[in-house]
Structure 1
Amino acid sequence: MQQQISLYLELLPGSKVNLETAARAALAFDALVKELAFTIDPFSTVRVELESGTEGSLSLNSVIKGAKGAITRERLGAIAFGVLVWFGHETASWTHGKVMEMVFPDSEVHETMTKEEKEAIAEDVLRMLRNKAGEQQAGRVYQELQRDEVVKGVGVTTSHDKRPRHIVPRSEFPERGRIVTESTADGVRSETTIQSLTLVSPVLIKGHRKWKFRQGKFEFGASIKDEAFLDRVLSGREPILMSDGILMKVKLAVKEEKKDGVWQITSRTVEEVLEVSPSPSQSQGELSGLSQE
């Protein structure tokens, strides 16, 4: 018994996605499916098998199969449609009727299912929504896709030969990729997002001293946990030119604590450096110099 599902990446015309981005997004997608499967039945497991990939755009065609325990057809369907929800329209106001409309838009496609089977799937999907099951895993998919500029949209479909009904545009990736973890008992929460920052001053010695960045007119310090990036910089394998306006795309974690009923930022940490690039004016100057030569 299995259930089809495809992660569909809409790319810029004539472009191909970066292999690392596709691989990371696929792993995050696999984690999302398994999180929803655990929510439905903690005593069963599933595996996601890659069947084929189509190009231009890119569709990672997969099937979800039961690996252990009693995974029924209805539960496989609920897992797939639970994934679909995170790549659909706004999920905050889903009702039973809206879920039924989204999950079963075409009665002919699901004509082999009874009314009771459809109701069971809809209830499982609603329960996952109420518990926000898979929210963080879906957020990681959006974060990984922000790595590659050629990815202009993403969607999910439960049929390999059909384009998703809804494509989430790239402009929504940052908001959907926000990952918030909160401990109400400790009054602590953290938020991880992909951000583009301007480098003000690096720290070119080993240790955990904070680098200084600017975002708009606001300057702040943040330690860097990306050891591989630090090793490349300190060894000279990834030199940072000493010029104004160096841009860094990073995965930034912001930690907050509740003090006197108000959330206050206590630390910022760069979890991973995704890209370092010179300022636009510097790039144009280099190109101008080359053209004059």
Structure 2
Amino acid sequence: MMASCLYIVGTPIGNLEDITLRGIRILKEVDIIAAEDTRQTAKLLNHYDIKKPMISYHEHNKKTKGDEIIGLIFQGKNVALVSDAGMPCVSDPGEDLVRLCVEKGIEVIPIPGPSASLTALSISGLPTSRFVFEGFLPTKGKERKERLERLRKENRTIILYEAPHRLMTTLKDLKEYMGNVNISISRELTKKFEETLRTDLEGAIEEFSNRNIRGEFVLILEGKSPEAIKEDEEKHWKDISIKDHIIMYMDKGLSKKEAVALVAKERGISKKEVYNISIEI
């Protein structure tokens, strides 16, 4: 082991056997384990008879605990960071601790392990050569709409996480913005009630509207084809006037000049024609 460093240790996403031999060794050898939920991590440590002191590190205490962990490393302690499941630092406050270590010149060593996102992607049956990981969507408001608006034009496979109580809302929102694209939905990966449903968004909405929804979900969505994206973009303006088309883009933050140029390009007409109409705005 290298002295005074931070180890990023991947842990099982369900089945406790899904941890590497190296991961077990590192957890046994470090001085302290920083855990998202010490109670959850205790189950893993007890399973492998690992007896090490733990310190909590999560979203709500990451600033104070991050400084404390940095202090321990500078004192010569080796620290292992684990999340409740999977690789730390992915949709996880561990990224802040790693950034802090990098700023302080502390060595950060990854100990690879399971990842719910890649596990679900590998069995989705959807394209895997190009994909984008979005984690959890914003739960409401303008930020959620803006994120969904960007996904509307995404042609890569999309990976999302979702909690059971928000699943139906998210499926319906995705259908509204993405259309009826194909989707693979995995829940409780590597656990007793593991399940993967491969369908389209309409089928997913119908399926889960008749179920008691439980478990943590990974959604794998098929990206839209260039033709579908172009057709979708045209739907935004073909039934509105040129003036409203300009206003639509100005409301999204574009200047009038930028909006005029974009409207002219999309409609295949001259900038002068669009500019003359923009004078009224």
Q: TM-score, normalised by structure 2?
A: 0.31
Q: TM-score, normalised by structure 1?
A: 0.30
Structure (1 or 2) with the greater strand fraction: 1
